[in-house]
Amino acid sequence: MIGAIADDFTGATDAAVAFRHAGLRTAILFGTPAEQPDLPPHDAIVIALKTRTVDPNLAVQQSLTAAQWLRARGAPRIYFKYCSTFDSSAAGNIGPVCDALAQQLGSPVTVVAPSAPNHHRTQYLGHLFVGGELLSSSPMRNHPLTPMTESHIPTVLRSQTERPVELVTHAIVREGRAAVRRELDRLAQLGVRYAVIDAVTAEDLDEIGAACAEDVFATGSAGLAGGLGHAIAGGARETRGHDDGAPGTVGEGLAAVLAGSCSARTLEQIALMQVEHPSYRLDALSCTDPAALAQGAVAWYDSLPAKWPAPLIYSSLGSEELQRTQQRLGTDVAAAILEEAMGRVAVALVERGVRRLVVAGGETSGSVVTALRIPGGLIGNEEAPGVPWIYTPGPDPLALLLKSGNFGDPYLLTRAIRARHVPDLQK
Ligand X SMILES: Nc1ncnc2c1ncn2[C@@H]1O[C@H](COP(=O)(O)OP(=O)(O)O)[C@@H](O)[C@H]1O
Ligand Y SMILES: O=C(O)[C@@H](O)C(=O)COP(=O)(O)O
What is the number of the residue whose Cβ is closest to ligand Y? 362
Contact with ligand X (CB under 6 A) among 93, 110, 316, 392: 316
**How far is the C-alpha of 56 from the C-alpha of 114, rounded, in Å?**
20
Is 13 among the residues that bind ligand X (CB under 6 A)? no
Binding to ligand Y by CB under 6 A, coded x per residue (else -) over 155-184, reads ------------------------------
Q: Which of 3, 4, 5, 10 lies at the binding interface for ligand Y (CB under 6 A)?
A: 10
- Letters for 123-162 (x = contact with ligand X by CB under 6 A, - = none) are ---------------------xx-----------------
Alpha helices in 120-176 (DSSP H): 153-158, 170-175
SS3 content of the chain, % helix, strand, coil (to 5): 40, 20, 40
Which of ligand Y, ligand X, none sits in contact with 222, Cβ below 5 to 8 A by type?
ligand Y
**Using the rule CB under 6 A, which residue among 404, 413, 414, 416 binds ligand Y?**
404
Residue 116, contacted partner among ligand Y, ligand X, none, CB below 5-8 A by kind: ligand Y
Contact with ligand X (CB under 6 A) among 338, 371, 387, 412: 338
| 283-302 binders of ligand Y (CB under 6 A) | none
User: For the CA atoms of the chain, what is the radius of gyration?
Assistant: 21
Q: What is the closest distance, in whole angstroms, from the C-beta atom of residue 167 to ligand X in the complex?
A: 27
- Residue 360 CB, nearest distance to ligand X (Å)? 7
Between 156 and 298, CB nearer to ligand Y: 156
Closest to 94 measured CA to CA, from 187, 8, 201: 8
Interacting partner of 83 out of ligand X, ligand Y, none (Cβ under 5 to 8 A depending on kind): ligand Y
C-beta closer to ligand X: residue 208 or 369 = 369
Q: 134 contacts which partner out of ligand X, ligand Y, none, CB within 5 to 8 A by kind?
A: none
Burial classification of residue 325, based on how many CB atoms lie within 10 Å of its CB (0-12 exposed, 13-18 middle, 19 or more buried): buried
Q: Of the candidates 272, 284, 300, which has an alpha carbon nearest to the alpha carbon of residue 417?
A: 272
Nearest to 423 by CA among 269, 277, 270: 277
Contacts of 221 (CB under 8 A, 6+ apart): 11, 14, 15, 81, 82, 83, 84, 113, 114, 115, 116, 119, 121
Residue type, 282: L
Instruction: Tell me if residue 358 falls in helix, strand or coil.
Output: strand
Q: Which of 26, 32, 63, 84 binds ligand Y (CB under 6 A)?
A: 84
With CA atoms as reference, report the closest residue to 187 among 214, 158, 205, 166: 166
Return the axis-axis angle of helices 331-351 and 362-371, rounded to nearest 10°: 50
Q: Is 122 strand, coil or helix?
A: strand
Asked if 406 touches ligand Y (CB under 6 A), the answer is: yes
Q: Which of 22, 173, 322, 387 binds ligand X (CB under 6 A)?
A: 322
Residues that bind ligand X (CB under 6 A): 10, 144-145, 260-263, 266, 284, 315-317, 322, 325-326, 334-335, 338-339, 361-364, 404-405
Residues that bind ligand Y (CB under 6 A): 8, 10-11, 14, 83-85, 116, 119, 221-222, 361-362, 404-406
